[in-house]
Amino acid sequence: MKNITKILFIVVISISLQSCDWLKSLVEDDKPKDPNEIKGETNIPINQVGNKFTSSVKVGTQYVNLNEEIKITKNESGLLTISIKADPTGSSKIQEYVNKIPATITDASGKINTTFQVKSTSEGIQDFFNKDGKQHTLVKYDANVGDKYQITKSDGKTITRTVTQKSSTDDFPYGFMNIKVVTVEQDSRIPGVKKIVYKANHKFGLVHVEVFLEDGSTASSYVYTQNY
């Protein structure tokens, strides 16, 4: 009888512990996920040190050659340091856009010569472009339409990025192919800029950016990665 009691006791305790783990997992799954946290694999082709990017910049309907040089110089567990050199001096409109950027990114000759950091994983992309340098999700590849990525800056203003579209088929022209993209729209806190629209793909990363100014003009660019 004592042995049976012991066995029953062990069984009950085991079930209770398993139930606790089960309940704990339910509670954890029920917690809202931090939109400004991304995980995933960081050792992916696009993240390789030395990987280069090219752009195809268009102001309105006119293409502009910036003679850019963009490459990854460091990868610290997905935290990428990217150097960018470009010459916007041949286009007054591009210079106007550059002048609207709060940070100084040009040298004495007016050419872009700077570095910046982004976090890139198999799950998504984050940047640190706000005035406080906070991590801010640009996109999560498994996003759903309506998802929002928000941060509140030290001045009390909030920057919101909203997923407005997600491809179900290869419907976005990219080079010589069509690909699936997640479209994210960001409200602007930059004077004169109405909004910024990003498109990203799980394999190629950020593939397109379009800036809409309050005067109705636009500037856009495809972004092409050497490694993918």
Residue-range domain boundaries for the chain:
1-31, 32-225
Chain CA centroid to CA 228, Å = 16
pLDDT (tens digit per residue) in 140-150: 999 999 999 99
Q: Which residue has the higher pLDDT, 115 or 18?
A: 115
Helical (H) or strand (E) element with 148: strand 148-152
- The CATH number of the structural domain formed by 32-225 is 2.40.360
Q: Mean pLDDT, to the nearest integer, of 212-224?
A: 94
Contacts of 17 (CB under 8 A, 6+ apart): none
% residues pLDDT > 70 (the chain):
85
Q: pLDDT band at 32, cuts 50/70/90?
A: low
